[in-house]
């Protein structure tokens, strides 16, 4: 999707603000000789920004608006090293709320809904983003935050929550608990707004079926406001994103060149009106594609496909590039296995080995199933994993993100 004239003007404003503030990226742009662009080709020459750079700007090097206008910071959950600190002005907070409200509306959620929010509140952007968007919508918020499943279920019943906001792994955990306790008839949930991790069709179906709800994928990252920059509509044809706030391009992660609409690559986001910490061409490392054409829902907002993985999740096994989503797709073809799996990669006797753990109920022959899965992986991806079939419920569930790939080669 080519950048429009209006968007180019907006980018120029962002560049000017960055340069004038002498912020981390302002200096980088000035050094690279950019003070404005005119054409889409110029835009493609602008340098990328990366999470690693953002860390270098710690603590407040990204701050681009004067400090008296900064009302809040958020921080991304860095698993290694320094976190990234993103300053927000009052307008940024408001814009984010407007985008989030649109997400709820796209999902058909209204001010008559009761929204139970289970992502965490605090430095990271999840809980508070869900909250502010819901308040802007005028819905009733039940601000639970994470964990304490007992209390979550009690409140869900007593408050008659109609919308669940959570990660996919926590939604699965709640769905399984509700089944186990036989309390489904006391639950009034109609919709789930699920964010912050990639999940497969199988898991989606399991959650939707066991809770009897519609599910919506919400997209976002702390560096770019937070969750709420895009969501799927009821037609489930990818996530509509707000191109009056963001410009999204898809690039080849190796060459850095933009790919045509419809082709898979890395999602790169440019903020168009951000004040506290504008970002130009930010490499998300999320893999997806722009969906060409119009959505049957009639929305004018363009669409990004479901996130298929992380460019840095790519595993190299016996010289073959593998994404967890490919394994997931293969497992989706086996109705005998659950939505949960775990991949362990190790280096044994000079060779890379992948062990793939999957779950099933006791009604099938474990060894025979393992052989069939191994043969399918060999046929579709090109190497043979060691498949271990275990009883359903044995693989870890998590309240946050479930870690599915464990690379023991680097531990």
Which parts of this chain interact with Zn ion (CB under 5 A)?
Answer: 233, 235, 295, 297, 299
- Indicate the residue among 237 and 376 with the shorter CB distance to Zn ion: 237
Q: Give whichever of 300 and 351 is closer to Zn ion, judged by the CB atom.
A: 300
The nearest distance, CB 294 to Zn ion, in angstroms, is 9
Kindly state the smallest distance separating residue 300's Cβ from Zn ion, in Å. 10
Q: Tokens 């290694």 label which residue?
A: 80
Q: How far is the CB of 250 from Zn ion (least distance, A)?
A: 19
Q: How far is the CB of 304 from Zn ion (least distance, A)?
A: 12
Using an 8 Å Cβ cutoff, are 241 and 247 in contact? no
Binning the chain into helix, strand and coil, the percentages to the nearest 5 are 35, 30, 40
In the complex, the smallest distance separating the C-beta of residue 239 from Zn ion, rounded to whole angstroms, is: 9
Q: Which of 277, 235, 232 is nearest to 96 (CA)?
A: 277
Rank residues 17 and 297 by Cβ distance to Zn ion and give the closer one: 297
> Is cis: bond before 10, omega within 30 of 0?
no
- Bridge partners, residue 391, by sequence: 360
CB of 144 or CB of 248, closer to Zn ion:
248
Extract the tokens encoding 42. Answer: 């110029």
In terms of DSSP H, where are the helices of 88-197? Answer: 90-106, 126-137, 149-158, 168-181
Residue linked to tokens 């004239």: 5
For the bound state, the minimum distance from the C-beta of residue 194 to Zn ion, rounded and expressed in Å, comes to 17
Min CB(106)–Zn ion separation in Å: 8
Q: Which is nearer to Zn ion, 69 or 237 (CB)?
A: 237
**Edge-first strand listing for the sheet containing 226-232:** 140-143, 114-117, 163-166, 191-195, 214-221, 226-232, 239-241, 303-304, 290-291
**Closer residue to Zn ion, CB minimum distance, 219 or 323:** 219
Virtual torsion, Cα 381, 202, 204, 169, nearest 10 deg: -80
Give the shortest CB-298-to-Zn ion separation in angstroms.
7
Question: Which CB atom, from 103 or from 373, has the smaller least distance to Zn ion?
Answer: 103
Helix axes 149-158, 168-181, angle to 10 degrees: 70
**CA 84, 85, 91: angle at the middle one, nearest 5?**
135
Of the two residues 48 and 235, which places its CB atom closer to Zn ion in the complex?
235
The span from the CA of 131 to the CA of 100, in Å, is 9
Beta strand 337-348 pairing with 405-407: parallel
């Amino acid at each position: 999707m080519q950048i429009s004239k209006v968007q180019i003007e907006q980018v120029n404003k962002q560049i000017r603000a960055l340069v004038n503030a002498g912020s981390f990226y302002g200096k980088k742009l000035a050094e690279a000789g950019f003070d404005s662009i005119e054409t889409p080709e110029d835009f493609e020459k602008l340098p990328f920004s990366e999470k690693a750079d953002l860390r270098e700007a710690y603590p407040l090097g990204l701050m681009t608006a004067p400090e008296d206008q900064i009302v809040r910071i958020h921080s991304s959950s860095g698993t290694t090293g320094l976190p990234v600190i993103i300053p927000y002005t009052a307008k940024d907070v408001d814009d984010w709320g407007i985008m989030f409200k649109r997400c709820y509306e796209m999902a058909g959620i209204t001010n008559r809904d009761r929204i139970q929010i289970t992502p965490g509140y605090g430095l990271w952007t999840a809980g508070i983003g869900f909250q502010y968007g819901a308040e802007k919508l005028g819905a009733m918020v039940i601000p639970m935050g994470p964990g304490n499943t007992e209390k979550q279920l009690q409140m869900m019943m007593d408050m008659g929550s109609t919308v669940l906001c959570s990660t996919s792994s926590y939604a699965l955990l709640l769905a399984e608990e509700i089944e186990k306790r036989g309390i489904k008839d006391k639950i009034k949930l109609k919709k789930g707004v699920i964010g912050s991790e990639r999940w497969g069709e199988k898991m989606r179906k399991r959650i939707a079926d066991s809770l009897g709800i519609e599910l919506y994928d919400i997209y976002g990252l702390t560096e770019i406001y937070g969750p709420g920059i895009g969501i799927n509509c009821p037609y489930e044809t990818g996530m509509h994103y707000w191109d009056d706030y963001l410009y999204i391009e898809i690039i080849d992660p190796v060459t850095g060149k933009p790919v045509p609409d419809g082709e898979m690559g890395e999602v790169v986001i440019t903020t168009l009106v951000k004040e506290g910490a504008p970002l130009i061409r930010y490499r998300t490392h999320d893999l997806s594609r722009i969906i060409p054409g119009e959505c049957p829902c009639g929305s004018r907002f363009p669409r990004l496909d479901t996130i298929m993985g992380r460019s840095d999740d790519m595993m190299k096994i016996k010289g073959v590039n593998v994404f967890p989503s490919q394994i997931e797709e293969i497992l989706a073809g086996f109705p005998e296995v659950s939505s949960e799996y775990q991949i362990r990669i190790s280096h044994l006797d000079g060779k890379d080995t992948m062990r793939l753990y999957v779950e099933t109920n006791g009604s099938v022959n474990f060894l025979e199933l393992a052989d069939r899965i191994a043969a399918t992986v060999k046929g579709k991806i090109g190497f043979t994993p060691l498949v271990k079939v275990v009883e359903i419920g044995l693989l870890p569930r998590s309240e946050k993100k479930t870690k599915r790939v464990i690379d023991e080669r680097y531990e």
